[in-house]
A and B are shown apart, each in its own frame.
Chain A
C-alpha cells in the first residue's frame, strides 16, 4: 500500500508538546506561530494543532505541533500522540516545582515508551515572571544533561527563546532523519515508526510459522 501512495514529503515532522496543565504548552506554540509568519496557517482548532514552516539549512521543513492534555487523568492516553511523533517537547513552568517533577516523569516515560530515536527536548517556560522562580536554570540543565536532552528556557509571553527551541528541535530531527535516511532505504516518513512496525510484523511472521 505504502509505495503506491505518495510518500508524504519528508520535510514534514510531527512534534508533540507534553507537560502539566497550565505550564503554557499551547501558548508556546501559539507564540511561535504568531511571531514568525503571520500570513501562514491561521489556527483552526485553537492552539491544539498548529503548523509552522521554518528553514533548516537550505531546506524548508514543516513542523506539525500537536498539543496534548496535561491533566493527570489524560496522562495514560498520551502515547497515542507521541507514538507517531518525531519530536517531543516537555514543558514545565519554572515557577512551579510540581510541574518540574511532572516533567521528569514525562521524560522518563518518553525514554521507555516512545519509539527509539524520538528527539526529546526539555523546556522551562514563564521566565518573564521576575521573582516566582522555583526551578533554577541549573536544575533544568542538570536534568537535560542526565537524560541527554536539548534544553532551553523560554517565555511564551515575551517570546524570548521561543523561536530558537523550534529551530533547535527541527534541526535535530532533520539531522537524525537524513542520517537514518542514508543508512536505510528511503521509506515513508518516520523511520522510528517503521522500525516499530517491523517488530510487530516480525512477530506475526513467527506466529504464522507456528500456525
Chain B
C-alpha cells in the first residue's frame, strides 16, 4: 500500500500482503481455539495452555498470594480475609528449579513433533499411497522406542533421587541426634532442615554463605545479609515458614480490625468537640496507669473479676443454646449466610462496632446475645433478653423479673420458659417441625461459638489448640454448610408462610433493640444518658435499663479486645522465637548469644513489615479511648507553648525564629513511618536527642550575638519531661499511645536497658502525663 499525497494506491502486491495477513490472523485464531478446546493430553501442551490462560486472565500474582488464597477455606467464605499486601521487595525472587525436562517429557515432546511431521507428510501424500502405510509403521515404532528409552531414564533418575533423599535424611538425622522420641515440633524442625538442605542443592550459592558464616560467625552485617538473602528467596523453606506464621497472625487480626477504619479515622486533629469523650468515660484512662501501677492487687482483682464474667458469659451462651430452639425471634435474624457466626464472639467484642449495613440483622442477633450476656454477668436481670423475646412470641409467659436473681433461679427460669415454649410449639403444628429443625441448627451453631469462645478464653493455648483455631476442620466447614442450609430453608419457609402476627412484632422489636443499640455503639462517646435514651425509646416491655449499662458494656468489649491482643502478641513472640530457633538449626554457627541476637534483629523487619498495619490497628482499637483523650487535648492545646507546661524559663527557647523544638516535633511525627519496633525505638531516642540539640543550637545562636550570655544549660528529667509533653501535644499524633504500647510489647527487654529504655519510658511517662491533663482540658 503506497500513499502519495493523500491518494491510496492499491496494487496487486498490496492485495497479496493483505491476504497473507488475514491468513495469519486466522491461523492464530484457530490455534488459540485449539489450545483452549483440546483435551490437552500432553504435559507440555497443558502447561502451555495454562500459561496462556494465566496470561490472558489474571495479572501475574505473587505465588505466595496464591498459596494464601488457598489456605482460606470455605468456612469463612463470607468473612474472607483478603490476602496480605504483597511485599514490595524488588529483590525478591525464587530459585528457578534448574530441573530440565524429565526424560519422559522430552520423549513426549519428540513424539509430538514426530506426529506433527507425520501428519504434515500424510496430508501431502495420497492416502492410498503405499508409502503412507510404511510411514505409519515407522512412526509407531519410533514412538514406542522413544517412550521405552524415556521410561528407563526416568527410573534411573528416580533411583538417584531416592539415594539423594536418603543422604539428606541422614544428614538431617545427624543434626538431630535422636530420631526416636522426638517431639512433634522437633520432627517438624527436622523436616524443615531437610528441605533447606534440599533447597540448597538447587541454590548452590547459599552454600557459600555457610562457609562465610563459619569464618566469622559473629559478624552482625554478615548475619543480617544472610537473613536477607535467605528471605529473598521466596520459596526457601525458611521464607515459607515465615510466611506461614505471618498469614496465621494476619488471619486472626483481620476479622478483628476489619471495619475499624471509620471509628479510628474519626480520631484526627482537630477533633470535633462533639467527639470528645466525657470525663466519666475516660476517668479510668486518665487515672488508670497510676492506680494499676501503684497497687498491683487492684489489677489482679480486676482480672479475676473479668474471669468471672467470662465464666458467666460461657454459662449464658449455654443457656442461650438451650433456649434458642424455642426462641425463634433472635435467630430469625440470621438472614445472611453468616459463616462469620463462628467468629461471632468478635462481634460481641466489637467496641467500635462499625459494620456494613448488609449485616444489620446479624447485628441484631449478636446484640441480643450481648444483652443477655451482659445482663447475666451483671447478676441482675438475668435472662432478660431471651425472656422478653419469648414474651413477644407467645404473649403468655409472665415472669417476675426481680433484680439480683441467683444463678439457680436463672436455671429454673430457663427450664420454665423452655416448657412453656414447648407447649406453644405443640399448638402451632405447622411451625413445630420447622422450629425444632431450626433449633438443632442453632444449637450446633451456638455450640461452635461457645467452643470457639472458650478456646479463645484460654490465654495460653498450646500449639494443638492453635492448630484447631486455624485449620478449619470438618466441623467448621460443616457449620458453614449448615448455616447456609439453615438460611436457605429459612428463606424458603418465609416465602411460603409469612410469620404470624405477634411473631413478627417480636422480631421487629428484637431488631429495633438490636439496631438502636448497635447504632449507638459506633459513636464512642456513648454516655450513660445516651443508653438510657435508647432504652426509653424501646417498647414498654423492655424495661431493663438498670441492667444494661453502656459503660460496663464497652468496658467488656475493651477487655475482650485486650485479651485478643494479648494472645496474638503471645503468638507473635512465639512465632518469632520459632523462626529464630529454625534459623539457628539451619545455620549452626548462629547459635551463639550474639548470633541469635543479630538474627532476631534481622528477622524483625521481614516479619513485621507485611502485618504491621493490621497489627497496629488492633493496638489502636485497644487504646481507642486514650487516643480520643489525646486527640481532644491536642485539639484544645494545639497552640501550647513550653511555658504553659512550666518548662523552666531558660529552656523555653522563646527567642527562636521557628516554633521551639520544631526539629524534635518533626522527628516524632516520623515514628509512624517505621514498621519495625527497633527503628521506631531509634526514632524515639532521636527525638530525645533532638530536644537537647535544639537547646544547644538555640544557645549557640544566642551566644553568636552576645558572647557574654550564659552557655547551654544541661537538661535533666525535670525539664525533659515537660518539653517532651509539649512535643507530643504539638505533634498531633494521638496514635502515639498505640505506638508506645506496641513498642513496649515487642521490644525485647535486652534493648530496654540503655538509652533506648530510658527514652521509651520517658515518652510513655510524658504520654500519660498529657493524658492526665484531660480534666483540666475539659474544665478550662
Enumerate chain A interface residues (CB-CB to B < 8 A). Answer: 1-2, 4-8, 12, 14, 17, 21-22, 25-27, 30, 43-49, 51, 64, 66-71, 73-74, 76-77, 79-81, 83-84, 113, 188-189, 199-200, 203-204, 207-208, 210-211
Spot the interface stretch: B99-107, B194-202, B701-709, B713-721: B713-721
Shortest Cβ distance from A116 into chain B, in angstroms?
12
Complex Cα spacing A67 to B720, Å:
10
Chain B residues lying within 8 Å of A79, measured Cβ to Cβ, are 290, 293-294
When the two chains form their complex, are residues B717 and A69 in contact, meaning their CB atoms are under 8 A apart?
A: yes
Chain B residues lying within 8 Å of A204, measured Cβ to Cβ, are 459-460
Contact partner of B755 (CB less than 8 A), chosen from A5, A45, A189, is: A45
User: Is the CB of B577 closer than 8 A to any CB of chain A?
Assistant: yes
Shortest Cβ distance from A99 into chain B, in angstroms?
13
The binding surface of chain A is classed by DSSP as: mixed
Closest Cβ neighbor of B314 among chain A residues: A211
Chain B residues lying within 8 Å of A84, measured Cβ to Cβ, are 752, 757
Given contacts A4-B600, A81-B761, contact A22 B718 (CB under 8 A): yes
Shortest Cβ distance from A73 into chain B, in angstroms?
7
Complex Cα spacing A17 to B576, Å:
36
The 8 closest A-B pairs by CB, nearest first: A46-B715, A26-B716, A67-B717, A6-B593, A69-B721, A49-B758, A79-B293, A76-B290
Shortest Cβ distance from B633 into chain A, in angstroms?
15
Chain B residues lying within 8 Å of A21, measured Cβ to Cβ, are 718
Among B567-597, those with CB < 8 Å from A are: 573, 576-577, 580-581, 593-594, 596-597
User: Is the CB of B646 closer than 8 A to any CB of chain A?
Assistant: yes
When the two chains form their complex, are residues B296 and A200 in contact, meaning their CB atoms are under 8 A apart?
A: yes
Chain B residues lying within 8 Å of A22, measured Cβ to Cβ, are 718
Ordered by A's residue number, 13 sampled pairs between the chains whose C-beta atoms are within 8 Å are A4-B596, A6-B594, A22-B718, A25-B717, A43-B714, A47-B714, A49-B758, A79-B290, A79-B293, A79-B294, A80-B293, A80-B768, A207-B459
**Binary interface encoding of chain B residues 690-729 relative to chain A, with 1 for a CB under 8 A from any of its CBs, else 0:** 0110010000000000000000001111111110000000
When the two chains form their complex, are residues A45 and B753 in contact, meaning their CB atoms are under 8 A apart?
A: no
Given contacts A4-B596, A45-B691, A80-B764, contact A208 B459 (CB under 8 A): yes
Closest Cβ neighbor of A9 among chain B residues: B753
User: Is the CB of B689 closer than 8 A to any CB of chain A?
Assistant: yes
Additional 18 contacts, C-beta under 8 A, given A4-B596, A208-B458? A4-B581, A5-B593, A8-B749, A25-B716, A25-B717, A26-B717, A26-B718, A43-B714, A46-B715, A64-B753, A70-B717, A70-B718, A73-B769, A79-B290, A113-B293, A188-B750, A200-B296, A211-B310
**Binary interface encoding of chain B residues 743-779 relative to chain A, with 1 for a CB under 8 A from any of its CBs, else 0:** 0000011101111011101101100110010000000
Closest Cβ neighbor of B767 among chain A residues: A77
When the two chains form their complex, are residues B307 and A74 in contact, meaning their CB atoms are under 8 A apart?
A: no
User: Is the CB of B311 closer than 8 A to any CB of chain A?
Assistant: yes
Size bracket, chain B contacts: 35 or more
User: Is the CB of B609 closer than 8 A to any CB of chain A?
Assistant: no
Given contacts A69-B722, A207-B303, A208-B458, contact A44 B755 (CB under 8 A): yes
User: Is the CB of B489 closer than 8 A to any CB of chain A?
Assistant: no
Chain B residues lying within 8 Å of A25, measured Cβ to Cβ, are 716-718
Shortest Cβ distance from B507 into chain A, in angstroms?
35
Complex Cα spacing A50 to B267, Å:
37
When the two chains form their complex, are residues A47 and B715 in contact, meaning their CB atoms are under 8 A apart?
A: yes
Closest Cβ neighbor of A24 among chain B residues: B716
Residue picked from A4, A70, A113, A200, most chain B C-beta under 10 Å? A4
Shortest Cβ distance from B229 into chain A, in angstroms?
22
User: Is the CB of B304 closer than 8 A to any CB of chain A?
Assistant: yes
The binding surface of chain B is classed by DSSP as: helix
Complex Cα spacing A28 to B297, Å:
36
User: Is the CB of B479 closer than 8 A to any CB of chain A?
Assistant: no
When the two chains form their complex, are residues B300 and A45 in contact, meaning their CB atoms are under 8 A apart?
A: no
Complex Cα spacing A207 to B304, Å:
7
Chain B residues lying within 8 Å of A74, measured Cβ to Cβ, are 721, 765, 769
Complex Cα spacing A22 to B772, Å:
23
Given contacts A4-B577, A6-B597, A48-B716, contact A71 B646 (CB under 8 A): yes
**Binary interface encoding of chain B residues 453-489 relative to chain A, with 1 for a CB under 8 A from any of its CBs, else 0:** 0100111100000000000000000000000000000
Complex Cα spacing A69 to B310, Å:
41
When the two chains form their complex, are residues B596 and A210 in contact, meaning their CB atoms are under 8 A apart?
A: no
Chain B residues lying within 8 Å of A189, measured Cβ to Cβ, are 753
When the two chains form their complex, are residues B596 and A49 in contact, meaning their CB atoms are under 8 A apart?
A: no
Complex Cα spacing A164 to B296, Å:
35
User: Is the CB of B548 closer than 8 A to any CB of chain A?
Assistant: no
When the two chains form their complex, are residues B758 and A208 in contact, meaning their CB atoms are under 8 A apart?
A: no
When the two chains form their complex, are residues B577 and A51 in contact, meaning their CB atoms are under 8 A apart?
A: no
User: Is the CB of B688 closer than 8 A to any CB of chain A?
Assistant: yes
Residue picked from B577, B600, B646, B718, most chain A C-beta under 10 Å? B718
Closest Cβ neighbor of A41 among chain B residues: B755
Chain A residues lying within 8 Å of B765, measured Cβ to Cβ, are 69, 74, 77, 80-81
Chain A residues lying within 8 Å of B755, measured Cβ to Cβ, are 44-45, 49, 51
Contact partner of A208 (CB less than 8 A), chosen from B290, B460, B576, B769, is: B460
Chain B residues lying within 8 Å of A69, measured Cβ to Cβ, are 717-718, 720-722, 765
**Binary interface encoding of chain B residues 430-474 relative to chain A, with 1 for a CB under 8 A from any of its CBs, else 0:** 000000000000000000000000100111100000000000000
Closest Cβ neighbor of A193 among chain B residues: B749
Contact partner of A4 (CB less than 8 A), chosen from B293, B458, B580, B759, is: B580
Complex Cα spacing A22 to B646, Å:
14
Chain A residues lying within 8 Å of B758, measured Cβ to Cβ, are 45, 48-49, 64, 66
Among B295-354, those with CB < 8 Å from A are: 296, 300, 303-304, 307, 310-311
Shortest Cβ distance from B777 into chain A, in angstroms?
14
Closest Cβ neighbor of A22 among chain B residues: B718
When the two chains form their complex, are residues A7 and B593 in contact, meaning their CB atoms are under 8 A apart?
A: yes
Shortest Cβ distance from B466 into chain A, in angstroms?
15
Closest Cβ neighbor of A206 among chain B residues: B304
Shortest Cβ distance from A74 into chain B, in angstroms?
6
Given contacts A48-B716, A210-B311, contact A2 B460 (CB under 8 A): no
Shortest Cβ distance from B92 into chain A, in angstroms?
27
Contact partner of B720 (CB less than 8 A), chosen from A45, A207, A208, A210, is: A45
Chain A residues lying within 8 Å of B688, measured Cβ to Cβ, are 44-45, 48-49
When the two chains form their complex, are residues A1 and B577 in contact, meaning their CB atoms are under 8 A apart?
A: yes
Complex Cα spacing A137 to B613, Å:
58
